[in-house]
Amino acid sequence: DTAVSQTPKYLVTQMGNDKSIKCEQNLGHDTMYWYKQDSKKFLKIMFSYNNKELIINETVPNRFSPKSPDKAHLNLHINSLELGDSAVYFCASSQRPSGGLDTQYFGPGTRLTVL
């Protein structure tokens, strides 16, 4: 069973288009994340939701809008795509413990190419 799944796996689109990436987790976790990994493998957090509430919102252009319809899903919509948006986007989930570290489980990634 896939723990954190993302669709689509690959996305090739033209500059200026609007696209969405979907994420689902079946781990029963209460927190989900979107990360962007650039061509140099640098992984940076974009957003985080806890129980459908936005809790982390890094400096990301307004063209990126996350949406969490329920605890198990976190989608990412991108408007007016630009060349610099080309990257691999990872979804992750975790369960916040009463103390200590909450392990984040990553999905397989969505490779976005903007032409």
Q: Decide whether 7 or 80 has the Cβ nearer to another protein.
A: 7
Single-letter amino acid, residue 86: S
Closer Cβ to another protein, 18 or 102, answer by number: 102
Please identify, using beta-carbon distances, which residue of 45 and 72 lies nearer to another protein: 45
- Per DSSP, the residues of the chain read --SEEEE-SEEEE-TT--EEEEEEE-S--SEEEEEEE-TT--EEEEEEEETTEEEEE-S--TTEEEEEEETTEEEEEE-S--GGG-EEEEEEEE---SSSPPPPEE---EEEEE-
- Shortest distance, position 42 Cβ to another protein, whole Å: 5
Instruction: Give whichever of 44 and 63 is closer to another protein, judged by the CB atom.
Output: 44
Q: How far is the CB of 58 from another protein (least distance, A)?
A: 9
| Shortest distance (Å) from residue 96 CB to another protein | 7
Contacting residues toward another protein, per CB under 8 A: 4, 31, 40-45, 48, 50, 55-56, 90, 92, 94, 96-97, 99-109
